[in-house]
Amino acid sequence: MPFVQIYVGAHLSPANKKDISMAIHQGLMTHFLIPEKDYFQVIHVMQPEDLLYPDSYFDVPHSNNLIYIRITARSGRTVEMKQALYKSIASRIAATTPVSENDVVIILVENELPDWSFGQGVAQMVGR
């Protein structure tokens, strides 16, 4: 049930955006054990002046290919699962797009089961 928001520069192609999306989804299936059909994502295409970042942070250089990935998911995953997810996403994106691992910024926001509704105004996950 993660909800993923992806912020990418307008210069990336539709194929790049699809590859980024699938890299994230594959990582979530592998490391957070989500089902294949649990695929809720929004890609925000940004103009270069709308993606702001430093040239380097924590000694990690960034370029104009920088992307932001915000994953909202229920709490309960271990630090090891989160670290494996981040590495998986960054390496998969770097392998299939012009975006390097240095340019993959991931923000994980956690919440609880009552915080989700998948339609009909019902919190379907309550009681599961």
Q: Which amino acid is at 43?
A: I
Inter-axis angle of helices 14-31 and 79-96, to 10 degrees?
150
At a CB cut-off of 8 Å and minimum separation 6, what does 11 contact? Answer: 48, 64
Rounded Cα–Cα distance for residues 32 and 77 (Å): 7
Is 14 considered catalytic here?
no
Rounded Cα–Cα distance for residues 108 and 28 (Å): 12
Q: Which of 2, 35, 61, 98 is catalytic?
A: 2
Q: Which residues have a catalytic role annotated?
A: 2
